[in-house]
Structure 1
Amino acid sequence: MFSNLPSYVILDLETTGGTPLHDRITEIALIRFEYGIETERWQTLVNPGISIPPFISRLTGITNEMVKDAPTFEEVAHTLYGYIEGTVLAAHNVRFDHGFLKSEFRRLDAVLRQKVMCTVKLSRKLYPQHRGHGLDAIMQRHGLRTQARHRAMGDVELVVAYLEAARRELGEARILEAVASLLREPSLPAGLDAAFLEEIPDSPGVYLFYGENDLPLYIGKSVTLRSRVMSHFSGDHSSSHDMRIGREVRRVEWIGTAGELGALLLESRLIKERLPVYNRVLRRSPNLFSLSLANGLNQIPLVNIVTRDEIYPEVFEHLYGLFRSKKAATEALSAIARDNRLCPRVIGIESGKGACFAYQLKRCDGVCAGKEKPELHYLRLKQALVPFRLKTWPYGGRIGIREHDEASNRTEVHVFESWCHLATVGDERGLEDVLETRSMSGFDPDTYKLLQRCLKKNASVIPL
């Protein structure tokens, strides 16, 4: 087809679903070309080892009965590798096929390193005036026909026919120029312009992935921004989360910081403010709970579950643990009681009077039945809660933590008070403005945890 290309393979897979981590390959087909001449073609059904969902069978026509006696991927892996070794692997949305192949070879403790070329992206380069670049759109555009759509060899033959049609319309030189350009680019999603790569610094910061609108798809952070962004487009697709992001991202923004703490704080804040679609961790939750220990033996129950309004740094010496739901707080308290033979009735998990159910099962030392002194039980409860105690603010007032990035010559000071992040400033004037204001932000459990980890690393603290 293209006489100047030494060796390439056009490949297509059918699978049980869209996630390489859980789904498996059901069919493989390929055609290999040497200097534009077809030299080999190969196809096989594959026994995926898992059931094919009915909607996939309706789409592809491949049923569980058809693959029952087919070889497993392990049995065909050596043959497949022989066809693709040393070639450029081309496919329509190659990140999908390449991701599944890498996952299958990884299950065999093998690493697949393959140069790839996406024919969707090739279509975008050759026909930028058209909106659709899927196989169905290409069939309509070029007047192509097939009786085996969504079967591996049928789709491979469609790609071959599309490339031949493009060669006739635009000329081989135009196609080869576009292919060469794609092979120089990283394996980015088809809708993403690769020009931004040169602008991303490999230094600390936060990146934001966008789709078709201004709502972020995903927000992440790294101390090496460019490397981290590119890792999303490695083609591994180890999760459906990564695959969905890869398919939808159209634009990338980034914000540099002076260090890791700055990136972590900024990521946490932006996720809470902008609510990106694919971020679940670090979102601001309206609910926050903690365990509050009674001051003495006469207050029953000995432990109360308190809400966000009662969680503030001034009372941390009486609070234990931070939980996103009341259920999580209750489960944690139940585990503490169970592991330390404490009375669930006295500490507030179980209602009623007299001996608790745990005592009847010999899982409580019997304070509820007069078998253990209340003073001893209270002391054991306090000891059991120690690992969960929230830490009081160890400084007399506000502090700053300084970070400096030599590559960008950026310096930032992060200002905190009572576990709350007040501001991040880049110069003395900004620091003076922060010190003059007395406003305080609300307590945020993520900031509390970030600062705890930072201080454990012996961060450089500046008393303010």
Structure 2
Amino acid sequence: MYAIVDIETTGGHASANAITEVAIFVYDGTAVVQEYHTLVNPRMPIPYYVQSLTGITDEMVASAPDFEAVAAEIYDLLQDKIFVAHNVNFDYSFLQYHLGANGFELKCKKLCTVRLGRKIIPGLPSYSLGNLCRSLSIPILQRHRATGDAAATVSLFALLLQRDTQDAIAGALKVGSKEQFLPPNLPPEQVKQLPLSPGVYYFHDQKGEVLYVGKARNIRKRVNSHFTGNNAGPKRQAFLRNIFSISCEITGTELMAGILESVEIKRLWPVYNYAQKHMEFNFGFYCFEDQDGYLRLAIEKKRKYTTPLHVFKLLIEGHQLLRQLIRRFDLCPRLCFLQKGNGACLPLQEHTCHGACEKKESVTIYNQRVQDAINWLQQQQPSFVILGHGRDREEQSCILMEKGRFYGMGYLPREIAVTGSENLKEWLTPYPENEYILGLIRQHAAGKAAGLLEIRSS
């Protein structure tokens, strides 16, 4: 037995909106055996644009029952039925949410006539209810009213039952089938063809633009997890409605998937990725030559398209490290921008500065000490590779950290001997780094130091 449902609401998500009208047609596969319709007082103003769309006004619902008063009757009509609607997750999420708020737990199998229409009658220009019914010559009386749209959905569903020569409806209802949870515009074949490998997946909208990028240890399993449950929140409902296709890129390891996900979020800036989109105000050491030829170390905010000598998250970390370099290599704090003003250089008075700030020390000698400081700084940063599984048995994955900086990653033939970083780079793709990526790699490296993963020094 099927319960074919349509509702009208004050807005697009259940958690902050209310139902204004419900229509339910109980259908046995041949005929409608029971009909139910009611307006519902939402106990909130109906937005003007919704009134214009549906024709349901605040005055019309003023004397209608609250949802609490009709919840038991609606639950009795729906329980033990197959819940059918056009874009079923919308109607189901609203009714499940509001029934739950009144003490009724709705659990039904679901069928979506958008999804079934795409599968059983492919190739139509649009699968919105109005356009689909127009293409199939199904009349709709009172469009955007619950009774009119539900009655049209009954006719549409009867036609789909008649034309279902490939048992698409039975397949969607089969135990273990995930189709009833999938977004209405996403072809189930795309989900079934996803690999069971680590990698990155992309959700695309109708125009092919990337909506969301995610990482996974198992791509197919992770993608399916997005569609389970009936979260009534606005972000999730909009998210599901806008997914039209999925693509993916397999990676050898979960770590590589995490790195690639971060790179792609920064590159594509997808609308539904909220994490990792904050600006990173990291700092770095930069070295430049002044007009007198002296090399000068400076702390500045990390800039795009520049390669600092060393990066750090907090300014105080940079000051502490710079002071250490000044002491260790007798650098001038004025030339390192740690002492300002026109007064005498304090380390010069203490004989730890050799007079470069007053041009008493030659450029060549001072610059050599600056270069020694830079070399020492770089030597303190680890260089290593992380080798792991490849995408197949013929290759191994490789992530290169060079002097504390993430160089890139890629795949090597298994027979390649890793002897140093230079012989690796022809196999690797350079990628931009960020604090999230560095954190992933450092955490992984620390775990390997305890024997969890293989790390080899380059």
What is the TM-score with the length of structure 2 in the denominator?
Answer: 0.68
Structure 2 CA distance for partners of 1:415 and 1:121, relative to 1, 3 Å: same
In the alignment, what sits opposite 2:98? 104
Q: Match for 1:444: what amino acid? A: N
Q: For the structure 1 residues 96 and 65, does the alpha-carbon distance in structure 2 shift closer, same or farther, using more than 3 Å as the test?
A: same
Q: Secondary structure at the match of 1:90?
A: strand
Greater C-alpha radius of gyration: 2
* 1:257 lines up with 2:269 in the alignment: no
Which of 390, 398, 401 in structure 2 is aligned with 1:416? 401
- Aligned mate of 1:156, from 150, 153, 156: 150
In the alignment, structure 1 residue 130 sits paired with structure 2 residue 115: no
Deviates more, 1:92-101 or 1:197-206: 197-206
1:25 partnered with 2:19: yes
The DSSP-based 3-state class of the residue aligned with 2:382 is coil
From 273, 281, 285, the counterpart of 1:288: 281
Report whether the alignment pairs 1:449 with 2:439.
yes
Verify the 8 A CA contact 2:41 2:66 in the aligned structure 1: yes
**Cα distance in 2 for residues equivalent to 1:110 and 1:418:** 60
Match of 1:330 in 2: none
Question: 1:289–1:305: 8 Å Cα contact kept in structure 2?
Answer: no
Answer whether contact 1:147 1:154 (CA < 8 A) is retained.
yes
Match of 1:179 among 155, 164, 169: 169
Contact kept, 8 Å, 1:26 with 1:45, in 2: the verdict is yes
**Could you say which residue in structure 1 is the equivalent of 2:342?**
none
Whether the aligned pair in 1 keeps the contact of 2:383 and 2:404 (CA below 8 Å) is no
* Structure 1 residue 319 corresponds to structure 2 residue 315: yes
1:231 paired with 2:225, answer: yes
| 2:383 aligned residue (377, 398, 405) | 398
Alpha-carbon distance between aligned partners in 2 of 1:456 and 1:14, rounded to the nearest angstrom: 55
Aligned: 1:425 with 2:410: yes
Does structure 1 conserve the Cα–Cα contact (< 8 Å) formed by 2:120 and 2:163? no
Matches within 5 A, 1:321-400: 396-400=381-385
1:263-282 equivalent positions in 2, closer than 5 A: 263-282=257-276
Give the drift of 1:214: 4.3
- Kept after mapping to 1: 8 A contact 2:409/2:431: no
State the alpha-carbon separation in 2 of the partners of residues 419 and 266 from structure 1. 19
Where does residue 371 of structure 2 map in the other structure?
none
C-alpha change, 1:156 and 1:448, in structure 2 (3 Å) is same
* Whole-angstrom distance in 2 between the partners of 1:64 and 1:257: 55
CA displacement, residues 65-112 of structure 1 (integer Å, 9 cap, x when unaligned)? 433454444443332221111211111111211222333345457653
Contact map agreement 1:425 1:431 (CA 8 A) in 2 = no
In structure 2, distance between residues paired with 1:109 and 1:422: 56
Letter of the 2:251 counterpart: T
State the identity %: 28
Q: Deviations over 1:360-392 (max 9, x none)?
A: xxxxxxxxxxxxxxxxxxxxxxxxxxxxxxxx9
CA distance in 1, matches of 2:163, 2:433: 62
Instruction: Provide closer, same or farther for how the CA distance between residues 434 and 116 of structure 1 changes in structure 2, counting only shifts above 3 A.
Output: farther
CA distance in structure 2 between the aligned counterparts of 1:38 and 1:253, rounded to whole angstroms: 41
Change (3 A) 1:411 1:12: farther
Residues 1:261 and 1:237: Cα distance change in structure 2 (over 3 Å): same
> What displacement does 1:268 show?
0.8
- Give the structure 2 partner of residue 113 of structure 1: 107
1:198 maps to which of 192, 201, 206: 192
**Partner AA of 2:201 in structure 1:** Y
- Cα deviation, 1:115-147, whole Å, max 9, x if unaligned, reads 111112232234324212222213423444444
Q: Cα distance 1:321–1:449, how it changes in 2: closer, same or farther (>3 A)? A: farther
For residues 165 and 417 of structure 2, the distance between their equivalents in structure 1, rounded to whole angstroms, comes to: 54
Comparing 51-60 with 198-207, which one deviates more in the overlay?
Answer: 198-207
Structure 1 residue 195: deviation in Å?
1.8
Match of 1:36 among 23, 30, 36: 30
Q: Report the Cα offset of residue 8 of structure 1.
A: 0.7
The CA distance in 2 between the partners of 1:398 and 1:291, in whole Å, is 19
Aligned residues: 373
User: What is the root-mean-square deviation of aligned Cα atoms in Å?
Assistant: 3.9
Q: Find the residue that maps to 2:221 and give its secondary structure.
A: helix
Look up the equivalent residue of 1:447 and give its one-letter code: I
**Deviations for 1:421-447, whole angstroms, at most 9, x for unmatched residues?**
222233353956854459986552222
> Residue type matched to 2:189 in 1?
A
Distance 1:409 1:55, change over 3 A: farther
2:16 is paired with a residue whose SS is: coil
Q: For 1:193, give the aligned amino acid.
A: P
| Partner residue in 1 for 2:343 | none
SS at match of 1:21: helix
Unaligned ranges ≥5, structure 2: 286-297, 319-376
By how many angstroms is 1:454 displaced? 4.1
Provide the rounded CA distance (Å) in 1 between the counterparts of 2:284 and 2:101.
44
Q: Secondary structure at the match of 1:262?
A: helix
1:301 is matched with: none
Q: Specify whether residues 14 and 451 from structure 1 end up closer, same or farther in structure 2 by C-alpha distance, changes over 3 A only.
A: same
1:31 is paired with a residue whose SS is strand
Aligned residues of 1:290 and 1:311 also touching (Cα < 8 A):
no
Cα distance, 1:182 vs. partner? 3.6
- In structure 2, give the amino acid aligned to 1:414: I
Q: Is the 8 A contact 1:95 1:235 kept in 2?
A: no
Check the 8 A contact 2:388/2:396 in 1, yes or no.
yes
Gaps of 5+ in 1: 1-6, 293-303, 323-391
Partner SS for 2:34: strand
Paired position in structure 2 for 1:211: 205
- The equivalent of 1:338 in structure 2 is none
Q: 3-state DSSP class of the match of 1:209?
A: strand
Deviates more, 1:141-150 or 1:126-135: 141-150
Q: Does 1:245 align with 2:239?
A: yes
- Bigger mean CA deviation after superposition, 229-238 or 397-406: 397-406
Distance 1:259 1:51, change over 3 A: farther
- Check the 8 A contact 1:91/1:119 in 2, yes or no: yes
Q: 2:53 aligns with which of 30, 49, 59?
A: 59
Task: Supply the distance in 1 between the matched residues of 2:195 and 2:134 (Cα, whole angstroms).
Answer: 42
- 8 Å contact from structure 1 (residues 208, 220) kept in 2: yes
1:227 counterpart SS class:
helix
Q: Match of 1:378?
A: none
Match of 2:434, as an amino acid?
Answer: D
